[in-house]
Amino acid sequence: MIPIQNLYYLLCYAWNTLEEAERVAIDTEQYQKMPDLFAKVLINGMWILLKRGLDQDYQLQEQEVAGVKGKLNLSATLKTNRLYLQKTTCTYDEYSADVPSNQLLAACLRQLVTMPDLDKSLKADLQKIQRMLPPLSSIPFHPRSFERVKLRPDQRLYVFLLHVCRIIAENLLPTENPGRFQFVDFRRDERKMNRVFESFLFRFFQKEQSQYWVRREQIRWQWQATQDPQHLNYLPLMETDLTLESPARKIIIDAKYYRYPLGGSRFEADKLVSANLYQLSSYLLNQEHRDERSKVATGMLIYPQTEAPLRLDYRFGEHDILVRSVNLNAHWREIHGELLGLLKG
């Protein structure tokens, strides 16, 4: 499995939060379990937030107050029958730290301190931070809760910390003890890791090189409707994982995260997966009409390296097809150089 230190780098690229990760500044080599690493990230990040002050916003409140504040809720006031005491129920805006982003950070801290295997010193630091937080409404620590959060572009540290919280929330399973959860190591989940790997490659090439313009390219099937033009509406739109384009060259990359990239079928354990080749071929063929670069575009399949490096070269019509693997178990500097080396030639 990929070391958690390298996984952390992949996630930071995928989330587009490298600068924030550097600001939080943790020694990734020190941690062997993902919950411990994520807890340390949150501890360091929360200290920064507490030092500068938690973000606040106007929140709509409805409470009984002395006199009138904001908008009077006459119906609710009459029901309390306390008008003779000059008490009214009013609705008003209050500038407060009790906002969804802070509520979710607090919920994540509560969840982490209940994990039985979390490092004791980290748990003590989390509890210290909890005691320093202002009163915040309790909300469920669930992936759906994150949909309520609306952040501004300048809230980059919040974006990073909430990404960490969300990945914790998405990988919790209940234990035998009611109300207790354990973190599930998602590195064995190829579906989840494929999303991370794809986003990582996109952000990596976007940030670490300037030779190519990086984008996701939408491609339409170049089929003709033989009976009714409306039939074309039933054809799905294709989208590349990433397309790299310069004035001289175009590369269409398809990222696939498999623990065993060679395994086309149980009868052909040493073959590439046919579906991956069909998909890349479809991209190349259906974008040829766009311009001269597209007619001779290079197609590339990138896999994580499992055993021996994978380096296969083919020709398909006017297109070079390259199959490459990247050793995600190597030191990060080696991974960085290996990825940039894929674009040469």
**Residue written as token pair 């008008």:** 83
Name the nearest CA neighbour of 59 among 137, 160, 122, 123: 137
User: Which residues make Cβ contacts (< 8 Å) with residue 166, sequence separation at least 6?
Assistant: 143, 146
Residue 179 has what pLDDT? Answer: 73
> What is the signed CA dihedral for 201, 207, 209, 212, rounded to 10 degrees?
80
> Would you state the pLDDT for residue 261?
77
- Using CA atoms of 136, 141, 147, 152 in order, give the dihedral in degrees to the nearest 10: 50
- The whole-number pLDDT of residue 298 equals 97
- pTM (2 decimals)? 0.85
Task: Check residue 56 and give its pLDDT.
Answer: 86
- Is residue 334 classed as helix, strand or coil in its secondary structure? helix
Question: What is the predicted pLDDT for the residue at 267?
Answer: 59
Two tokens, residue 14: 């995928």
pLDDT of residue 268: 62
Residues 131-143: b if buried by 16+ CB within 10 A, e if exposed: eebeebeeeebee
Are 258 and 301 a contacting pair, CB within 8 Å?
no
Distance CA 140, CA 90 (A): 27
Residue type, 84: Y
What Å distances lie between residue 166 and 112, 114, 142, 146, 345, CA to CA? 12, 17, 8, 7, 40
Report yes or no: 136 and 88 within 8 Å, Cβ to Cβ.
Answer: no
CB 298 within 8 A of CB 320: yes
**C-alpha distances in Å from residue 113, one per residue of 44, 102, 106, 117, 127:** 16, 17, 11, 10, 7
* Distance, CA of 14 to CA of 18 (rounded, Å): 9
CA distance 257 to 304: 6
pLDDT at 60: 75
- Domain with residues 194-225+235-341, CATH architecture: 3-Layer(aba) Sandwich (3.40)
Question: Which residue stretches of the chain have pLDDT < 50?
Answer: none
Say how far apart CA 49 and CA 283 lie, in whole Å.
45
Q: Report the C-alpha gap between 260 and 279 in whole angstroms.
A: 19
Structure tokens at 52: 């500068």
Reading the block at residue 212, the tokens are: 């190519």
Q: Based on C-alpha coordinates, what's the Rg of the chain?
A: 26
Closest CA to 322 of 341, 299, 305, 345: 299
Cα atoms in the Cβ-side hemisphere of radius 13 Å centred on 239: 5
- 8 Å CB contact between 77 and 89: yes
Residues of the chain with CATH 3.40.1350: 194-225+235-341
Q: What percent of the residues of the chain are helix, what percent strand, and what percent coil, each to the nearest 5?
A: 45, 20, 35
pLDDT score of 86: 79
Q: Measure the CA–CA gap between 72 and 75, rounded to whole angstroms.
A: 9
Q: Give the residue ranges of DSSP H helices in the chain.
A: 4-14, 18-24, 34-52, 74-80, 100-113, 120-132, 156-169, 190-208, 274-286, 292-295, 332-341
